[in-house]
Amino acid sequence: MAMQLVYGFIFGFLSSVGFGIITNNPRRTLVPAGIVGALAWIVYILVESINHGLIMPNLLGAVVIGLLGNLCAILVRAPVNIFYVPCLVSLVPGAILYDSMKNFTLGKDALAAYGFVKALTVGMSLAIGFIIAETIANKIYPRLKRYLLEKESK
Amino acid sequence: METITATEIVTLCGQVGTILLENGAETARVENTVEYVGRAANLPVVCHATMTGIFVSSEKDAATRIFKVRVGDFNLQKVDDINTLSRQFYRHEISFKKLKKEVQSVDHESRDFSWLVKCIGAGLVSMPPMLLFKATWGDLFIAFFVGIIGYLISQFVAHHNKTPYIPVALGSLAISFIANVLGDVSIAHDANYIIISALMPLVPGVPMTNSLREIIERNTISGLVRATDAIMSGISIGSGVIVGQILMQTIWGG
For residue A86, the enclosing domain spans 2-153
Instruction: Measure the CA angle with vertex B147, ends B141 and B149; round to 5°.
Output: 115
Chain B residues with CB-CB distance to A33 below 8 A:
none
The partner residues of B45 in beta bridges, in order of sequence, read B58
Burial of A52 (0-12, 13-18, 19+ CB in 10 A): exposed
Residue B254 pLDDT:
55
Q: Look at residue B216 and tell me whether its pLDDT is greater than 90.
A: no
Per-residue pLDDT averaged across B161-190, rounded?
88
Chain B residues with CB-CB distance to A128 below 8 A:
216
Give the distance from residue B59's alpha carbon to the nearest chain A alpha carbon, in angstroms. Answer: 27
* Chain B residue with the nearest C-alpha to that of A11: B129
At residue B53, the 3 state secondary structure works out as strand
Partner-chain contact B24 A127, CB within 8 Å: no
- What is the 3-class SS of A121-140, one letter each residue? HHHHHHHHHHHHHHHHHHHH
Residue B2 pLDDT:
58
A125 interface with B at CB cutoff 8 Å = no
Q: Residues, chain B, total?
A: 254
Residue pair B135/B190 in contact (Cβ under 8 Å)? The answer is yes
User: Helix B96-108 and helix B6-22: axis angle, to 10°?
Assistant: 30
Alpha helices by DSSP H, listed for chain A, are: 2-22, 30-50, 55-76, 81-88, 94-106, 109-153
Residue B69 pLDDT:
85
What percentage of chain B reaches a pLDDT higher than 70?
Answer: 98
Partner-chain contact B113 A98, CB within 8 Å: no
Q: Look at residue A24 and tell me whether its pLDDT is greater than 60.
A: yes
Partner-chain contact B74 A4, CB within 8 Å: no
What percentage of chain B reaches a pLDDT higher than 90?
Answer: 13
Residue B110 pLDDT:
67
Which residues 6+ apart lie within 8 Å of B206 measured at CB?
A85, A88, A89, A92, A94, B74
Nearest Cα residue to B87 out of B105, B72, B70, B102 = B102
What percentage of chain A reaches a pLDDT higher than 70?
Answer: 99
A21 interface with B at CB cutoff 8 Å = yes
CA B213 to centroid of chain Cα atoms: 16
Residue B164 pLDDT:
85
Which residues 6+ apart lie within 8 Å of B219 measured at CB?
B26, B27, B28, B50
Q: Look at residue B1 and tell me whether its pLDDT is greater than 60.
A: no
CA distance A85 to A19: 8
Give the distance from residue B206's alpha carbon to the nearest chain A alpha carbon, in angstroms. Answer: 6
Among A21-25, B109-113, B127-131, B232-236, the range scoring the smallest mean pLDDT is B109-113
CA distance B188 to A22: 26
* Chain A residue with the nearest C-alpha to that of B30: A79
Ramachandran bin of B253, using left for φ above 0, alpha for ψ from -120 to 50, beta for the remaining angles = left
pLDDT band at B236 (very low <50, low <70, confident <90, very high): very high
What is the model's pTM?
0.87
Q: What integer best gives the mean pLDDT of chain B?
A: 86
CA distance B214 to B230: 14
pLDDT band at A47 (very low <50, low <70, confident <90, very high): very high
Partner-chain contact A15 B122, CB within 8 Å: no
Give pLDDT tens digits for B99-137. Answer: 888 888 888 876 778 888 989 999 998 888 887 777 788
Chain A residues with CB-CB distance to B84 below 8 A:
77
Give the HSE-up count for residue B147: Cα atoms under 13 Å, Cβ half-sphere.
Answer: 31
* Chain A residue with the nearest C-alpha to that of B209: A123
The number of beta carbons lying within 10 Å of the beta carbon of residue A106 is 14
A69 interface with B at CB cutoff 8 Å = no
Give pLDDT tens digits for B41-76. Answer: 888 889 988 888 899 998 888 888 898 888 777 888
Residue A60 pLDDT:
93
User: Residues B32, B38, B42, B45: is their CA dihedral positive or negative?
Assistant: negative
Terminal C-alpha separation, chain B: 75
A117 interface with B at CB cutoff 8 Å = no
Q: Looking at the 3D structure of chain A, how many domains does it have? A: 1
List, as own/partner pairs, every contact residues B30-39 make where C-beta atoms lie below 8 angstroms and the sequence separation is at least 24, other chains included.
B30/B54, B33/B82, B33/B83, B33/B86, B36/B86, B36/B90, B37/B12, B37/B13, B37/B86, B37/B89, B37/B90, B37/B99, B38/B9, B38/B10, B38/B13, B39/B90
Which H/E stretch holds residue B84?
Answer: helix B76-90
At residue B47, the 3 state secondary structure works out as strand
CA distance A6 to B13: 47
Nearest to B76 among A23, A98, A126 (CB): A23
Per-residue pLDDT averaged across A32-53, rounded?
90
Give pLDDT tens digits for A93-132. Answer: 878 888 888 898 888 999 999 999 998 899 899 999 999 9
Q: Read off φ and ψ for residue B68, nearest 5 degrees.
A: -90, 145
Q: Look at residue A36 and tell me whether its pLDDT is greater than 90.
A: yes
CA distance B11 to B132: 49
